[in-house]
Every structure is written in C-alpha cells, then in structure tokens.
C-alpha cells in the first residue's frame, strides 16, 4: 500500500503511518497502559488533507472511547506533533481489524510487552503467622478499583485512612451494609493496601465462620492457649460478616479477648457486618460496645451514576468493550446489589463470547429478566425483554434495526453518502435483506434509495467476503439477526 506524503511544519516529509506513530508515542505516557493497548489497537490515519486528520478505528466502541474519553490527550498529542492539524475526525473501518491489514497499527506489538490481560500486582502474599490459616487476600480487590459514590464515600475514606496508618486513627473500623454492596471488597482492599505499604506486616483476613471453626478446633485439641498466642502476633485482623458469630458464645468470648489484646497493643481491627453494632442483638453486649469504640461506616446501594461508573470500571478490568447504551440500560434496571450488577455484566460478556455476538439492550434485558430479581424497571424494559416485537419482514424493518445498531441516521443509509461508516450499514442492509428476506437485487436496489442492482450485488458479495475474515463483523451480523427476531 502507498502512504501519502505531506509536509510537517519542520518541513520533513513523513508518511501518515509515521505521523500516527509519533502521535501515539506522545499519547502513550498519558494513558493507562491497558486502555492504550485496547483502544489504539488497529487504528490508523486514513487521510490528512487541508488540516483535517481522519483517524480510522476498527469499531464503534473504539471510536466512542477515543472521542469521549481520550479526546483531550489525543488532540494535545496531535498538536504537539503537527500544529497544522485543525480538525480531527474518527471514521469506523472494520477492515482495520483484519489480521493482514497493513495500514492498521499494531500497538500491542509496538508498545505492549504481551497481549495477556493486565495482572493486578500480587507481590504481597499474605504473611501468615505459623499456624493461622488465613484465607488469602484476593489481589483483585484494591481501593483503586473500588468506585466511590455518595453511597460509600465515607467507608472508602475510612479504609484509606486505616490503610495509611493502621492501628492509630480508626480502631476498630466497623463497616456495615446489605449483601453485595462492597464490604468484602473494601475489607480485602484495605488489607492489600496495608501490605503494599509494609509487606512485613501480618495481615489476617477471615470470615467469622472460619474464625469460629478455628476456635472449635483449638478447643477440641486443647490448644486454646496456642490459639491466643498466635493471634497476638497479628498486626491487622480482618473479620468479615461478624453477624455470624450470633449465639456462638464461646467464640464470642475468645474473640473478645483477642480483640482486647490486639486493641491494647494498637493493632488494627477491621470488622464487617450486615447491620450496625447496636442491632447485633445476638452478640454479647461487651463485644458490641467494643465495636462501637472506633469508627462505624456504612455502604449503601449506589445511585445510577455510580452504578454506571462501576460497570465501566468492570468492563475495563475484563478488557471488554460494551456499548455505553447497553451499560446504561443495565445500570438503570438493576436495583438489587452491586454483585447483581456485576453478575449481569459477566453473563453478558460470557454470552458474547459463547454465541459470538455483541451484547445489545435486548440481550441484556433478557439476562436481567432471567436472573429474575429486578424491581421496578424502566426505559421500555418489558418491551426489550420480550424480544423483538415481530420478525423483521420488510426492507424498512431491516433499515431500522441496522441504523439503530450502528447509530447512524436511516436517511443517510438510504442516501448517496460514500463515507465508510455509512457504507457498511448500507451494505449490511442489502446483504440481510437478500439473505434473510430473499428479495431480488432489483427490489433491494429500489428499496434502498433507488440503487442499481449491480450495486446491491456488489454489496452482498463484499459483505460475504468480509464475513469470512472479520470476526467483529460476524458478531455484529449475529447481534443484528437476533434483533431481527431470527
């Protein structure tokens, strides 16, 4: 392929490919690596004429992301490299995703050392005192991937403060709230953070059931003294779901002594529960009053904006692209817990991979319905969850569904535009009308703005040819067919 040459301001002629590399080199340090590798993969400069730079991206997700989230960094980098750029436009070209496309920039190869998903740092294995079988902290839980909203701001701040100075300010730290609202995430993240600051600290995370089992075992083996001695050496004791100590008197008694011992030695204690201390009726008063000595914070169900931010954050963690309209729909219609929110998302990702489609509002509506705990639903939920109102039967139906899917105006698809982001939906309309409705090339030409039948034939062949190589296009076609009720 040939690169157009043009003049840089310092009058060195460079190719569009090189220009793009220079821009990417400037952007790269400004953006988190996984984002950079995800969103700039298979991008290219399609043209640069009269101050207008057209950046080609392989799909609409990359376009949305680059245009919405990275525009600032990108424009800055472009200006640094070439001040003559006055206008920047994105254009979707699915061909860029094809493996043998010479134009697309392989940022993974050029900038990333490996294609593997980013692993969260897992340097600090939990340090255990001999004989304490703590459940290891999950390195996935970090304070930096805990999305903060008005529902958990105080809890998050308290955990951050404890992580910075364990055993000093807020001791004990008591976190309470309903199921699936992020208590375990916060507790483990705090433990991870304590270890990140000081890998020599001994952090023990345990559910209260586990703690109970240990005590029962110690009693059976007549090793209660050893049990106590071991726990004395802990720097930070985290007990999750303390409500399960209800009515377990002997465990409560041992916990009380351990608590006092650690507290008196300025060791950090972090506790979670499904309710505030004063409502822990089945726990001994003296234990409850110990819990009340420190800081008590709650986590609540997040508001819409925070739910959406959580979904975006989880998508990044799973390195998955999902249309923001779909995420908004999930955020609007899940009212139970963050765990359920995450569950719907993971299910959508799994179905996408298994069925080779792209999640749509319709497909996630079905998932939410299947999981079956949605409260009040909005935004045409029932309509979507039922599936397509009817099977697409006319070229107009196809036009509606395809234009909606690609977020382009149906008039443009019908019109004469030869822009790539219009051409592809148009060709798909023709292809699907032919393959699914079986109309003749002449009829299809007439139906889509009076095009010649050879244009239709060419469009169908082109799509068939692309489908053999372009996995993303195949996913798009599968998702559209589902929306067509096929």
The secondary element (H helix, E strand) that includes residue 418 is none
Interaction of residue 180 with ligand ADP, rule CB under 6 A: yes
Least CB distance to Mg ion at residue 459 (A): 54
> Which pair of tokens denotes residue 339?
């765990």
Give the binding-site size for ligand ADP (rule: CB under 6 A): 16
Closer by beta carbon to Mg ion, 43 or else 184: 184
Select from ligand ADP, Mg ion, none the partner in contact with residue 323, using the beta carbon and a kind-dependent cut-off of 5 to 8 Å.
none
**Is residue 184 at the binding interface for ligand ADP, with CB under 6 A as the rule?**
yes
Window 140 to 179, contacts with ligand ADP (CB under 6 A)? 146-147, 152, 177, 179
Shortest distance, position 180 Cβ to Mg ion, whole Å: 8
**181 makes contact with ligand ADP (CB under 6 A):** yes
Name the phi and psi angles at 57, rounded to 5: -130, 150
Residue 486 partner contact from ligand ADP, Mg ion, none using kind-dependent CB cut-offs of 5 to 8 Å = none
Comparing CA positions, the residue from 364, 362, 373, 360 lying closest to residue 476 is: 360
Q: Given the rule CB under 5 A, which of 114-122, 183-191, 219-227, 229-237 is the region that contacts Mg ion?
A: 183-191
Of residues 288 through 317, those in contact with ligand ADP by CB under 6 A are: 310, 313
Q: Token pair for residue 99?
A: 């493996």
Question: Could you tell me the smallest distance in angstroms from the CB atom of residue 347 to ligand ADP?
Answer: 14
Work out which of 56, 172, 182, 425 binds ligand ADP, going by CB under 6 A: 182
Contact 444, 459 (CB under 8 A): no
Among 59, 124, 152, 184, binds Mg ion (CB under 5 A): 184
Interaction residues for ligand ADP, span 341-360 (CB under 6 A): 342
Residue 468 in 3-state DSSP? Answer: helix
For residues 244 and 214, is the Cβ–Cβ distance under 8 A? Answer: no
E strands within 262-370? 268-273, 295-299
In this chain, which stretch among 52-60, 182-190, 364-372, 434-442 interacts with ligand ADP, using CB under 6 A? 182-190
Helical axes 338-355 vs 324-333, angle rounded to 10° = 140
Q: List the single partner that 182 binds among Mg ion, ligand ADP, none, CB under 5 to 8 Å by kind.
A: ligand ADP
For the bound state, the minimum distance from the C-beta of residue 207 to ligand ADP, rounded and expressed in Å, comes to: 10
CB under 8 Å to 380, separation ≥6 — which residues? Answer: none
For residue 185, the minimal CB distance to ligand ADP (Å) is: 4
Select from 184-192, 206-214, 339-347, 384-392 the region that touches Mg ion (CB under 5 A): 184-192
Task: List the single partner that 475 binds among ligand ADP, Mg ion, none, CB under 5 to 8 Å by kind.
Answer: none
Strand pairing partners for 216?
A: none
Between CA 335 and CA 302 the distance in angstroms is 9
The β-bridge partners of 295 are 173
Answer with the entry of Mg ion, ligand ADP, none that 152 interacts with (C-beta below 5 to 8 A by kind). Answer: ligand ADP
- Sequence-distant (6+) residues with CB within 8 A of 370 are none
Q: How far is the CB of 49 from ligand ADP (least distance, A)?
A: 45
Only one of the segments 123-131, 183-191, 197-205, 260-268 lies at the binding site for ligand ADP (rule: CB under 6 A); that segment is 183-191
CA 39 to each of CA 8, 43, 105, 145, 410: distance values in angstroms, whole numbers, following the listed order: 26, 8, 11, 20, 27
CA angle in degrees (0–180, nearest 5) for 296-302-308:
145
Nearer to Mg ion, 56 or 172 (CB): 172
Burial class for 102, CB neighbours closer than 10 Å (0-12, 13-18, 19+) = exposed
Task: Compute the distance between CA of residue 400 and CA of residue 396 in angstroms, rounded to an integer.
Answer: 6
Calpha distance 185→214 (Å, rounded):
23
Binding region for Mg ion (CB under 5 A) out of 178-186, 298-306, 390-398, 410-418: 178-186
Contact between 338 and ligand ADP by CB under 6 A: the answer reads yes
The structure tokens listed for 395 are: 């070229």
Q: Which residue has the tokens 């009269």?
A: 50
Interacting residue ranges for ligand ADP, rule: CB under 6 A: 146-147, 152, 177, 179-185, 310, 313, 338-339, 342
- Interacting residues toward Mg ion by CB under 5 A: 183-184
């Amino acid at each position: 392929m040939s690169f157009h040459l043009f003049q840089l301001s310092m009058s060195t002629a460079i190719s569009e490919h090189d220009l793009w590399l220079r821009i990417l080199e400037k952007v790269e340090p400004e953006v988190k690596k996984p984002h950079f590798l995800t969103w700039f993969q298979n991008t290219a400069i399609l043209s640069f004429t009269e101050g207008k730079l057209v950046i080609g991206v392989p799909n609409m997700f990359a376009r949305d992301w680059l245009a919405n989230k990275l525009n600032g960094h990108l424009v800055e980098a472009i200006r640094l490299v070439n001040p003559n750029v006055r206008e920047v436009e994105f254009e979707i070209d699915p061909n860029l995703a094809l493996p043998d496309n010479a134009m697309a920039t392989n940022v993974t190869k050029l900038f990333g050392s490996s294609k593997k998903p980013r692993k969260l740092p897992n340097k600090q294995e939990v340090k255990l005192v001999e004989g304490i079988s703590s459940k290891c902290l999950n390195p996935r839980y970090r304070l930096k991937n805990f999305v903060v909203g008005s529902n958990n701001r105080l809890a998050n701040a308290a955990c951050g403060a404890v992580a910075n100075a364990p055993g000093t300010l807020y001791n004990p730290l008591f976190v309470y709230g309903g199921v699936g609202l992020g208590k375990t995430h916060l507790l483990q993240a705090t433990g991870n953070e304590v270890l990140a600051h000081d890998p020599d600290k001994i952090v023990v995370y345990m559910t209260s059931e586990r703690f109970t089992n240990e005590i029962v075992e110690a009693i059976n083996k007549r090793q209660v003294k050893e049990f106590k001695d071991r726990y004395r050496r802990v720097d930070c004791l985290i007990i999750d779901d303390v409500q399960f100590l209800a009515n377990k008197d002997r465990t409560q008694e041992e916990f009380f002594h351990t608590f006092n011992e650690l507290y008196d030695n300025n060791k950090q204690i972090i506790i979670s529960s499904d309710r505030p201390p004063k409502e822990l009726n089945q726990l001994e008063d003296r234990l409850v009053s110990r819990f009340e000595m420190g800081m008590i914070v709650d986590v609540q169900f997040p508001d819409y904006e925070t739910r959406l931010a959580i979904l975006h954050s989880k998508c990044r963690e799973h390195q998955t692209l999902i249309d923001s309209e779909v995420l908004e729909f999930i955020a609007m219609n899940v009212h139970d817990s963050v765990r359920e929110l995450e569950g719907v998302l993971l299910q959508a990702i799994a179905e996408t991979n298994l069925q080779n489609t792209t999640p749509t509002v319709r497909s996630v509506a079905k998932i939410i319905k299947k999981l079956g705990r949605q409260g009040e639903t909005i935004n045409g939920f029932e309509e979507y969850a039922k599936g397509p109102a009817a099977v697409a039967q006319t070229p107009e139906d196809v036009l509606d569904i395809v234009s909606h899917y690609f977020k382009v105006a149906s008039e443009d698809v019908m019109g004469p535009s030869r822009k790539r982001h219009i051409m592809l939906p148009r060709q798909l309309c023709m292809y699907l009308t032919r393959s699914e409705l079986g109309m003749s090339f002449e009829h299809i030409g007439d139906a889509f703005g009076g095009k010649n039948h050879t244009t239709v034939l060419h469009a169908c062949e082109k799509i068939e040819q692309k489908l053999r190589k372009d996995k993303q296009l195949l996913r798009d076609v599968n998702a559209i067919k589902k929306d067509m009720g096929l």
